[in-house]
Amino acid sequence: DTMVLKKTGGLFRLALRMMMTLAPPHPDLTEERKQQFTLLVETIGVFFQTLDDYLNVSNEQYHQNKTFCEDLTEGKFSYPIIHSVHVAQAMCDQRLFHILKQRPTDIAVKQFCVRLMEETGSLEATRARVESLRQDVYRTLDTIGGSPLIDECMQKMCKLMGVRA
């Protein structure tokens, strides 16, 4: 999560800070409230990136807009890849790690990698992580009083994955 917080979460935090800086002063915008908003955007950032990682290896609609398993071709250590490499390493299996270093473009090789991720339970673990993050987003959103717009965005992202928001 640390890497994602610095990457995707950083973009979300930057946008939030710009809005808070440019907004007119408001008595309800205390330091505690700013921290709550920061936690919310960080959690949404990790949720979004982890969901994107999951969809990259598992969703047909996603593949129509992007290349199948684009993260493998780009040599990215996404959540399901990291999980799978870690689990496989404990069994002295470094096939996925070595394939990732080659940045495969061949569909059959990528499909083999997805099977490796399934065998290590990484897709299910990623799906469970996305669900946990979804719950965290809504818990944090509740602490700031909710937001119909954020709720609508979350609904749309969850629909891509086939889960309830």
Exposed (0-12), middle (13-18) or buried (19+): which is 17, by Cβ within 10 Å?
middle
Is the pTM higher than 0.75? The answer reads yes
How confident is residue 78, by pLDDT bands cut at 50, 70 and 90?
very high
Q: Please give the structure tokens belonging to residue 67.
A: 């290349």
What pLDDT score does 156 carry? Answer: 86
Query: How many other CB atoms are there within 10 angstroms of residue 64's CB atom?
Result: 8
* pLDDT (tens digit per residue) in 110-139: 999 999 999 999 999 999 999 999 999 999
